[in-house]
Structure 1
């Protein structure tokens, strides 16, 4: 990707914290927008691959770092879904009334689904990559009772990330906030086309979770594409990913 293909931008929350992003602008609709997974940033391999493809197709495309990650301000330990959604809302405000095709990976898929239900007039289509619905609650519930109590009492927990991100520090606010976004207990209404790509060999989020979500959601245009032998990072499924993206883009453009 040439250096001039994407332009950096900075948006500022009312409290002063900045979020940083990159945009490939063609002044045509729709706009593609990528939400990475938990602790991931806009320089990840999937984020870059999608941005490169958008450039070759002549599409407008946005990627950004939520607060506490990458180039954006803030502490990662302050992450909650509501905080991430506030960052996304700032991006949508920047884009005015332009229709958005949102691609969300893992936790980004959970957030993207919430956003599509909240702002249906803006988010016209969803491509979800192994969406990690309710994974925060599940992490908490799998802990021994004494560790649950310690996290709640101390409002902080540290653990080693299995994907090589090192030691992560998370406040208990992440857990309490996540219950407000339980999409299995409170199924969303999704009006646009939704496609879920999910590997059968996903070691982090089982394929069955996508079927559980689909059985509950009010989404007449939802399709699940299971990918045999593919893991959580969707390694080896680039062609499927880009074909699905292109089909959704054609559908709404």
Structure 2
């Protein structure tokens, strides 16, 4: 659903695949960008809530679908961290040279952190929602040996989100690709305001994963806010989510004023 004041955009990438999204641009200042999680798109509740909040406060905001999801072209089975980073790089080029505030949810938090390492001059702050660092490797490692072997030999596995959720095809290349982006083995240096929101009742990404990351990362401005009783979807914590966005946004504004 397109919100008032949003303008649709599209970017043609490799193999003539088109990346699509919506942009509300006030013409100056930073642009907020939401990076959804695994198998999520820009029509999700967090995505729309953040876009609406930005419009109310007169902030520029962008939301989009990765290739293979939602309105964008591409095959979901070809998902990889490398491909998601290519999509984010296309977004950076679209709005260059404006600074960005990235809000990444779950897998989007992993991608956002990597993008901040690559583009420290463009990305000025991070809000990470239960960032799912290394979850692809963890998923593979937790499979029985026979299932690991089958995925490697056939090159494809159907990944189910929960016992009653939809099933998504995923190529084994995603596992091989993810190894290059292990932020727990090769922790990043983040010199920008970074806030992690993580629910204490998250059964998809353990809360301890965020604390492990924070212990390893070199980041003088990183904080973790635990949301008591909140699960991975962040339902019931909408107010805390918007407060978090406001905090990192104001931190960017304060740094620009120095």
Output the aligned Cα RMSD. 1.3
Task: Return the alpha-carbon distance in structure 1 between the equivalents of residues 116 and 83 of structure 2.
Answer: 16
Count of aligned pairs: 253
CA apart distance, 1:167? 1.6
Deviations 1:49-83 (A, max 9, x none): 00000000000000000000000000000000000
Task: Return the alpha-carbon distance in structure 2 between the equivalents of residues 28 and 223 of structure 1.
Answer: 28
Question: Any conservation in 1 of the 2:157–2:172 contact (CA below 8 Å)?
Answer: yes
Q: Which runs of 5+ in 2 are unaligned?
A: 254-258
Q: What's the TM-score, normalizing by structure 1?
A: 0.97
Aligned partner of 1:121 in structure 2 is 121
Aligned partner of 1:97 in structure 2 is 97
**Do structure 1's residue 222 and structure 2's residue 222 form an aligned pair?**
yes
Q: Any idea what SS the aligned residue of 1:15 has?
A: helix
Query: Structure 1's 14 and 174: CA in aligned 2 closer, same or farther, altered over 3 A?
Result: closer
Query: Structure 1's 2 and 232: CA in aligned 2 closer, same or farther, altered over 3 A?
Result: closer
Aligned partner of 2:6 in structure 1 is 6
CA apart distance, 1:222? 0.3
Q: Any idea what SS the aligned residue of 1:198 has?
A: strand
Aligned partner of 1:252 in structure 2 is 252
Aligned partner of 1:179 in structure 2 is 179
Aligned partner of 1:73 in structure 2 is 73
Aligned partner of 1:157 in structure 2 is 157
Query: Structure 1's 117 and 7: CA in aligned 2 closer, same or farther, altered over 3 A?
Result: same
Task: Return the alpha-carbon distance in structure 2 between the equivalents of residues 135 and 25 of structure 1.
Answer: 34
**Do structure 1's residue 15 and structure 2's residue 18 form an aligned pair?**
no
Aligned partner of 1:233 in structure 2 is 233
CA apart distance, 1:4? 3.5
CA apart distance, 1:247? 1.4
Task: Return the alpha-carbon distance in structure 1 between the equivalents of residues 214 and 121 of structure 2.
Answer: 21
